[in-house]
Structure 1
Amino acid sequence: MLESELLNSDMPLHLKNRAFRCARQHLDSTPSNKLNSRRLALALSLKKEFDSSYGPTWHCIVGTNFESYVTHSIGGLLYFSIDKIYILLFKIAVEPLDH
């Protein structure tokens, strides 16, 4: 089983659990020999899963070494790691620009 760690979150428990399950399933089902492709596919998988289930404007960053500062919607931030792969999943509110 892959080791995981919650690093930061203001996300409700049911959303966190869904993200953990989705990430674990993805990582368990893909070969680890191409780590960059695996991380990109995980980010796309989580984004698509959350966009389709909870509405658009979810973003996902996956890597082994990155720093980030993001603005997110309340209840829409999850930062965790699984087996030394760090995952930042967050939702932003999109408002139309006034011209």
Structure 2
Amino acid sequence: MLAIVAVAVMVSRKRKVAADRNRAAEMREQAKADEFAARERDAKAARAEADAQEADLEAERLRQEARKRRKKPKASAPARRSNCAKPTKWTRT
């Protein structure tokens, strides 16, 4: 009778150890997947930050370009002749 109890305890322990090993392996796999996902998010965030910096630089360049255009004196356009001196069919006489 004692031998049966001892065998049952040993079998139970072996099952528990096997289950613990399986659970540990699953946890390691999950940890690797989580780490990969975290690295992927970090890379995505770094790309987004780089894109934002590039957009800021482009915006600053456009602002400077606009300032230069505003400061630049406009070339005087040649005088236009008025069409008012010319009688047309719509002009009242």
- TM-score bin (small chain): under 0.3
Higher relative contact order (CA 8 A, sep 6+): 1
Larger strand share, 1 or 2: 1
Max Rg structure = 2
Q: TM-score, normalised by structure 2?
A: 0.23
Larger helix share, 1 or 2: 2
